[in-house]
């Protein structure tokens, strides 16, 4: 009476364990189809969706001017890359195990398309970010070059202005020196042309000398 029940129980237990004589592909397929493995994968899917939604919210907050810690965004991106890597490994293992039969399964086919599209989208986002970084670097280099040109132009203008001021100062000094020299010459001629006042002592002194 109890033998069918034991046989059914033995069959249920054997479904959770890999037989000794199975190949590697069958062992991997059995591991992937374990309930615990599926629970882990479903949990990763849920966490990946939550991380993606959180990333969108953070982007919206950043656009509105709210300061978001950069570390949080980096953690979300790292987690998204990790889950995508795990999903790709799972799909690769499933293709290796089931081969063409993999594509006849609707659920696996949808998972494959979603994972491939997510990988392509992530690569596109990274390329866009890299291109934007290159454009920002080029814009910054152009701005620095313009600033350098303006500084050189200003330096040249200051040099010309300093030389002009120096030349003007030298000319003024030379002009002042010429005026002083002219004044001194005029004063010397006047002193020679002024009449000499003769005093009685001078007359007496001239008489003695004669």
Shared domain for 91 and 115, answered yes or no, is no
Residue 127: what pLDDT?
81
Assess if residue 2 is contained within a domain.
no
Number of domains in the chain: 2
Domain span including residue 127: 105-167
Shared domain for 98 and 110, answered yes or no, is no
**Which pLDDT band, with edges at 50, 70 and 90, does 2 fall under?**
very low
* Tens-place pLDDT, residues 107-144: 777 777 877 777 777 778 778 878 888 888 888 888 88
Residue 14: what pLDDT?
47
Shared domain for 124 and 87, answered yes or no, is no
**Is residue 15 predicted with pLDDT exceeding 50?**
no
Assess if residue 205 is contained within a domain.
no
Of 63, 81, 102, the residue that ends a domain is 102
**Is residue 93 predicted with pLDDT exceeding 50?**
yes
Shared domain for 109 and 82, answered yes or no, is no
**Which pLDDT band, with edges at 50, 70 and 90, does 201 fall under?**
low
Assess if residue 56 is contained within a domain.
yes
In the chain, the percentage of residues whose pLDDT exceeds 70 is 71
Assess if residue 193 is contained within a domain.
no
Contact 10, 16 (CB under 8 A): no
């Amino acid at each position: 009476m109890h033998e069918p029940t034991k046989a059914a129980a033995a069959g249920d237990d054997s479904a959770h364990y890999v037989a000794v004589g199975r190949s590697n592909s069958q062992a991997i397929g059995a591991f992937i189809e374990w309930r615990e493995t599926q629970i882990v994968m479903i949990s990763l899917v849920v966490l990946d969706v939550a991380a993606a939604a959180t990333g969108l919210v953070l982007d919206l907050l950043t656009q509105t001017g709210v300061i978001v810690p950069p570390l949080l965004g980096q953690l979300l991106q790292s987690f998204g890359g990790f889950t995508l890597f795990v999903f790709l490994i799972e799909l690769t293992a499933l293709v290796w195990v089931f081969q063409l039969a993999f594509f006849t399964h609707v659920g696996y086919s949808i998972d494959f398309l979603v994972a491939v599209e997510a990988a392509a989208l992530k690569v596109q986002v990274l390329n866009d970010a890299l291109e934007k970084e290159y454009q920002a670097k080029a814009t910054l280099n152009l701005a620095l070059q313009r600033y350098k040109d303006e500084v050189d132009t200003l330096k040249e203008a200051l040099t010309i202005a300093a030389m002009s001021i120096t030349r003007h100062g030298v000319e003024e000094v030379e002009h002042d020196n010429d005026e002083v020299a002219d004044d001194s010459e005029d004063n010397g001629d006047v002193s020679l042309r002024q009449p000499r006042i003769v005093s009685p002592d001078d007359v007496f002194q001239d008489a003695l000398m004669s």
